[in-house]
Structure 1
């Protein structure tokens, strides 16, 4: 039987070759630590193929908050446990669904993602501030938010919150971390364990 050879390496080695713009569009590579093929889509990017049995699997990975996390400052702080490691030169959809509580009805919350160096982001997080109005907070830069949420319907009560972002990493991969802050100094907001989850998938 004739044999066919492909360039091969671990996922990390092939990602490093992509970061150095050493791949060729249309060329097939073998990822040795995953036993799968990937195809160069540009000098600095490749797309891995699914293996048999993977086609119908859920493309999302979900992380559930295991303990309440509070922040009573207006400085962004990590929501401990809601982070993942992003690969270089990869685009992700990141989604949040959950609940939080505020110490006072006049205390709002802002969410943002901390990103690896060189990554781009666009996203929006929002929650109800009354029975008829939502308050959005935008993110178009790493670890920063635009907009103000004025409060919640009721203090010390679970308030639903949702968010969605698109993240494009550059040549450097690294940690994508959900962060949050209070809108009012010395008035706490608390992300609720069990009712809050962060999901991500490659697109």
Structure 2
């Protein structure tokens, strides 16, 4: 069954079948020289990468930027140039964090030991930086992922496809969850134009999301 054919009521059952997650490790803290963002797309067309780039464009250029993807993203230099703004240079390893102004790191941050190593390396850096926790693709188990890093993040943003009923309704249900009260919801809408198309973005708070009329 394709993702866009799933009923919203099926998501919880699907999530249980996919995987289990560890409990959040609250002993881990974001280093003082860094700010964390959790940016999670909840479906294939939620445009997670584009949303991250929108946020990067609003961040001070004097900060290093790292996108940490749970699911590996094997991106060519051409892909990086096309989809990401400066300072994202390339896909890097943890050992290369001090050598770039920004990069994409393929690291499963849902594994506590991996997350601990990442935070230790950030703490050892003298540079101020911004860290994005992302899937690298999309995820149905959004709340479980957010729970693992919410205490490390200044901002939590859930990226949705407004024109996908399952994506939109699942986001609406998430906005009612206590874990997601700090979250913002980014709604993407594809608009056809005479010459091609464009994507419109609306960002709502959790409270604003709850007030929408969802049938």
* Global fold match (TM > 0.5): no
Structure-1-length-normalised TM-score: 0.27
TM-score for the superposition, normalised by structure 2: 0.26
